[in-house]
Structure 1
Amino acid sequence: MFRPFPVFIGSRYTRARRRSHFISFISLTSIIGLALGVLVMILVLSVMNGFDREMQQKVLGMVPHATLEAYQPLGNWHELSDELSARPEVAAVAPFIQLRGLLSNNGVVQKVLLNGVQPELEDRVSIISRFFLPEQGRLASLQPGEFGIVIGDKAANNLGVKIGDKVTFIAPDVAVTPAGVFPRMKRFTVVGLFHVGAGELDGYLGLVHIADAGRLHRWKPDHVQGLRLKLHDLFQAPQLAWELVRDRSNKDYDYYASDWTRSHGNLYQAIRMEKSMIGMLLLLIIAVAAFNIISTLIMVVNDKRSDIAILRTLGATPRQILAIFMVQGTVIGVIGTAIGCVLGILAALNVSAAVRWLEGALGHQFLNSDVYFIDYLPSQVMAQDVLLICGAALLLSFLATLYPAWRASRTQPAEALRYE
């Protein structure tokens, strides 16, 4: 098969030849270094993509994308809901009432955020129904007047309760009676347990029927705190929240709005920033491997000075000599990048299962939901990241060949053969 002259000579120089075993060993280490750099970069960025995905699909699927609330109980929420649902940015709307307080059982107390929801509408704006434990209730178990509550499995374990047990909700305000001042309390029956995998949600979130939450607030029937909005594009939430308040500045209620960037925006931005910074740092690993290619080719050029001189006397042009050593460096870069790409994709696809196995073998959980927002290691391989990493590795490898190849092309036959 016909091969161009520079490709033929350059590929032969890449393989070991009698006196150049050490140089070939250095070439092998350059390939290994480049492969490790590509592998680690694909693996780490895939894990960061996994955190990003879990943040968007799970945590931000549970919390409101945006909310519109009034400073007093909202009575015309059906009309307002129809108006908001007609907006093209809005995917679904549901009413809610929130209460903050404590849950207590047998002397164990922990904080809780109670969301009063309407079960038939909540599924439109939340993905909570996906995370109910098998045979551990469902959202429809919340019935008005029965004072049922759905909590996370972490909260249930902390309180020592299961389906059918009673817990006491302690409100932050007090009731004044002739006997003194007492906190307001209400007994709830646990009718459902869920597990999202996020400690903030599994440990501190509770769901009750919106009618029961309104009774705890002592509001009139069918009055709510506000409306929860699910958007087609969650990144439109800040702009939409501002527009909703602006458009209703002269209405019968005083409104205010909030969105997910105020409650979880810092965490999301931290994940995005960490991905960028870690990507830049890991790129230095590939750069170090590229420097190894430079040193390898310089050693090859010094070792092959007599060969270069002979090629020049046989009619090889400086451009052909330049191409020979560029081919050799490019071959190292292509092989290292290809090996790192394949191993990196395989590692990224299996890292979640590997970490779960390692946790089981060691009996230690690396990601604790008390510290992190999820309790497992996610991973998502993205084609654009793989292409970007491989492209950067190939580009650095190619640039690393330029100086040694230029030095080789400047070799003068007479000088090189003087002491041969």
Structure 2
Amino acid sequence: MSFEWWVGARYAGLTRSKRKAGQRGDRFVSFIAGSSMAGIALGVAALIVVLSVMNGFQTQVRDRMLSVLPHIELFYPGQPHQRVLEMWPDIAADAKQNSAVQGAAPFVGAQGMLVRNNVLSGAQIRGIDSSVETQVSELADQLYAGSLDALKDGSFGIVLGQKLAKTLGVGQGDTLMVMAPQGTISPAGFSPRMRQFTVVGLFSSGHYEYDASLAFVNVQDAARIFRDSGVSGVRLRIKDMQKAPEVAVELQGQLPSGVIASDWTRNNRTWFAAVQTEKRMMFLILTLIVAVAAFNLLSSLVMAVKDKRSDIAILRTLGATPAEIARIFLVQGSLIGFLGTGLGVLLGVLIAYNVDVIVPFIENLIGLQFLPEQIYFISSLPSNPQVADIVIIAVTSLILSFLATLYPSWRASRLQPAQVLRHD
């Protein structure tokens, strides 16, 4: 070990001098080094935990959304619903020529009003074919009452989300009225088109927005009641949801003219763009914590240089060059930054992988829920640590720590031993 590393490690508090006269100064240097190290560690840990939670939040919401929603939707605008439902096997066959497509199913989607006694609630009503729905969604696995097989043509059954059923005050076997936006105009006035449906199933996707607004009916029943409104087409599921935009572009070129392919990232573009922007801003804001710790490191090194003026002068008289003096404090600051970053990474990863245990404990302790599901769609705090984020955070911390050592090291190398010894 070169003497620069040995002295730098001692100044960083990693080694101790056996001389009693130096213990007081060593304790002071060790204290300011430890405080700088703790600041860096806390900043790095905070960054890792926050970004991991944001990654987990995005992943959880995305997966729960796509458990109900398709990866790609194919629309045939301008065609009546019944015509599209007759054409859907051919459209699905053409789409399945793309090797990325795993399943296909027809749909009719529209906005409607559900009425039960004096309670009214708006809903997104989806007409589905229960025989092939399992190819494109996990709805059948999310049912906790009833069965999709009950959605038969002409039976006018309906499957409701858990929160929507609670709002309407209905359960399996109850009836309600479904009102379409369009109606008929007669001498007596406007009469909305409506039909009585029977609740044949209840589902819970874990996504509050969908559980509170989605309802499923048979695709033919939906085509009858929403014949003048809504959209119809084919829903597709692909092997890799992340490649949905590329597959949608490929399908757009393969399918007959008039068919429009829309992937899930386009349909939910605003939400995902907002999450990505928020993640970038949180990274920049929380990086300021590490920057503050780096400034603390800089000030502590300046204080160390001032405290060790006599040591520097003695080393210079013994033949140490200004570059060697500078390297001593570069080693001291770099060791503090490296150890602080390492401790922060360990602490952050430990917390990030145990958020599902730590957060419920704190919620029970203080009696407060951090994530109201009405606002954040999910009720538990997820975490998804990603190696790329951790590496970027660690590298950023190390760079800031290294930059903080440059000025104190330069200042130490500029000290003149004659002037220092004369004043001391």
Q: What TM-score, normalized by structure 2, do the two folds share?
A: 0.88
> Does residue 230 in structure 1 map to residue 228 in structure 2?
no
Which residue, 25, 40, 44 being the options, matches 2:50? 44
Matches of 2:25 and 2:402 in 1, distance apart?
Answer: 26
CA contact (8 A) 1:148 1:191 kept: yes
CA contact (8 A) 1:139 1:192 kept: yes
CA contact (8 A) 1:115 1:207 kept: yes
CA contact (8 A) 1:6 1:327 kept: yes
- What is aligned with 2:295? 291
- Report the CA distance between 1:395 and its aligned residue: 1.8
When residues 78 and 266 of structure 1 are mapped into structure 2, their CA distance, relative to the original with a 3 A threshold, is same
The 10-residue stretch of structure 1 (278-287 or 37-46) with the greater mean CA deviation from structure 2:
278-287
Question: Which residues in structure 2 correspond to 1:45-124 (within 5 Å)?
Answer: 45-70=51-76, 71-72=78-79, 73-74=83-84, 75-124=86-135
Matches of 1:97 and 1:104 in 2, distance apart?
Answer: 20
- Report the CA distance between 1:244 and its aligned residue: 4.8
SS at structure 2 position matched to 1:120: coil
Matches of 1:226 and 1:26 in 2, distance apart?
Answer: 67
**Once the two structures are superposed, what CA deviation does each residue of 1:259-311 show, in whole Å capped at 9, x if it has no partner?**
33443110001111111111111111111111111111111111111111111
Matches of 1:187 and 1:137 in 2, distance apart?
Answer: 18
Which residue, 210, 220, 223 being the options, matches 1:214? 223
**Percent of counterpart pairs with the same letter?**
44
Which residue, 265, 268, 282 being the options, matches 2:272? 268
Q: What TM-score, normalized by structure 1, do the two folds share?
A: 0.89
CA contact (8 A) 1:197 1:369 kept: no
SS at structure 2 position matched to 1:95: strand
- Report the CA distance between 1:84 and its aligned residue: 0.6
- What is aligned with 1:383? 387
When residues 231 and 353 of structure 1 are mapped into structure 2, their CA distance, relative to the original with a 3 A threshold, is same
When residues 344 and 130 of structure 1 are mapped into structure 2, their CA distance, relative to the original with a 3 A threshold, is farther
CA contact (8 A) 2:56 2:382 kept: yes
Matches of 2:365 and 2:25 in 1, distance apart?
Answer: 48
Which residue, 328, 331, 356 being the options, matches 2:332? 328
**Once the two structures are superposed, what CA deviation does each residue of 1:66-106 show, in whole Å capped at 9, x if it has no partner?**
32222223122111110111113433221111232111212
Letter in 1 for 2:74: L
- What is aligned with 2:19? none
CA contact (8 A) 1:93 1:125 kept: yes
**Once the two structures are superposed, what CA deviation does each residue of 1:385-404 show, in whole Å capped at 9, x if it has no partner?**
11211121112112211221
- Report the CA distance between 1:203 and its aligned residue: 0.5
Matches of 2:361 and 2:268 in 1, distance apart?
Answer: 31
Matches of 2:246 and 2:366 in 1, distance apart?
Answer: 47
Matches of 1:124 and 1:194 in 2, distance apart?
Answer: 17
Matches of 1:356 and 1:210 in 2, distance apart?
Answer: 42
SS at structure 2 position matched to 1:197: coil
CA contact (8 A) 1:67 1:258 kept: yes
> Does residue 186 in structure 1 map to residue 195 in structure 2?
yes
Matches of 1:119 and 1:60 in 2, distance apart?
Answer: 17
- What is aligned with 1:399? 403
**Once the two structures are superposed, what CA deviation does each residue of 1:204-253 show, in whole Å capped at 9, x if it has no partner?**
0011122322333469xxxx921112234445545655665566665xxx
- Report the CA distance between 1:343 and its aligned residue: 1.3
When residues 141 and 342 of structure 1 are mapped into structure 2, their CA distance, relative to the original with a 3 A threshold, is farther
CA contact (8 A) 1:58 1:127 kept: no
- Report the CA distance between 1:313 and its aligned residue: 1.8
SS at structure 1 position matched to 2:329: helix
CA contact (8 A) 1:197 1:376 kept: no
Pairs aligned (count)? 409
Measured on the aligned residues, the alpha-carbon RMSD in Å equals 2.5
Which residue, 352, 375, 382 being the options, matches 1:371? 375
CA contact (8 A) 1:65 1:228 kept: yes
Matches of 1:25 and 1:34 in 2, distance apart?
Answer: 14
When residues 243 and 419 of structure 1 are mapped into structure 2, their CA distance, relative to the original with a 3 A threshold, is closer
